[in-house]
Structure 1
């Protein structure tokens, strides 16, 4: 009986390892937003929320106006649909354990009708936990979130509109 239990435990451990490896595979992405070699996927989430846009005058273009992203507000979910963190202005990704990371956009790839796919290089993280030592973040599989189609002009400068969106956020750390 002891041998059976040990064998079953071993099979279960191998199955979990295999599933974990499959879940953490590097996703397909356009070249522009591909993470550099030497980094591995450590967490995948789905962000569901809203993007706020504000009508503003275009810089260096007298009389021209545009909708500008004022900030995101989304909940990050794991593959079990459990909330594991949030995404908000900065840009900042914060895990439920209090760790967080900000970053700088390196590249985008268009996704017609939705916000573009994105590659972000992470700044040094704050706190210990899920966001510790993150090196890159990809935004993939975006749905919605594009700037409003409504008019933005002198008559509504400062107006805000909220647009719903969803995107996959993939987090990387340097390979050891």
Structure 2
């Protein structure tokens, strides 16, 4: 009985590890992740603007606009152009894309690994990497756009992980 229980536990554990590994691509993980500051859920929009290039109109990504929440649902930070994340304690991180991986979910924005520069003191001070995973939605409109300068706001969700 004990052997069967251990075998069942081992099989379930391996299945969980395998499923988890499939959700996180190898490329966007930090080479030396360091200390995980936290994992936060973002809800917001990806903003696209109609631009004219060479006589053709098209949708270009402009900026994100989202709120990040902790595991208990409490507001943690806002996310905006830069890309920048600003915690409610005033600490701030600005990122630069190091790696991008197509999202496994159709219609979802890419998973990213970003290097980070932090400012201020607080929870985000010293952050070196930001990772965007488990995205849903956010992909810009396709095809030509009607009028230069108009915006489309596309809802998205994602998990953001911050590493020191």
**Pair 1:121-2:115 in alignment:** yes
**Pair 1:56-2:47 in alignment:** no
Q: How does 1:3-82 map to 2 (within 5 A)?
A: 29-58=24-53, 62-82=54-74
Give the Å deviation of 1:150: 5.7
2:163 aligns with 172
2:94 aligns with 102
2:126 aligns with 133
TM-score after normalising by structure 1: 0.74
Q: The residue matched to 2:35 in structure 1 has which SS?
A: strand
Using the alignment, how far apart are the partners of 2:154 and 2:109 within structure 1?
10
Give the Å deviation of 1:36: 1.1
Give the Å deviation of 1:28: 5.4
Q: How many residues matched?
A: 142
Change (3 A) 1:27 1:77: farther
Q: The residue matched to 2:73 in structure 1 has which SS?
A: coil
Q: The residue matched to 1:156 in structure 2 has which SS?
A: coil
**Pair 1:144-2:137 in alignment:** yes
Using the alignment, how far apart are the partners of 1:43 and 1:116 within structure 2?
20
Any unmatched runs of 5+ in structure 2?
A: 1-20
Any unmatched runs of 5+ in structure 1?
A: 1-25
For residue 162 of structure 1, the aligned residue among 141, 153, 157 is 153
Q: Indicate conservation of the 8 Å contact 2:58/2:143, yes or no.
A: no
Q: Please tell me the root mean square deviation across aligned C-alpha atoms, in Å.
A: 1.9
Using the alignment, how far apart are the partners of 1:55 and 1:137 within structure 2?
28
2:5 aligns with none
1:12 aligns with none
Change (3 A) 1:27 1:93: farther
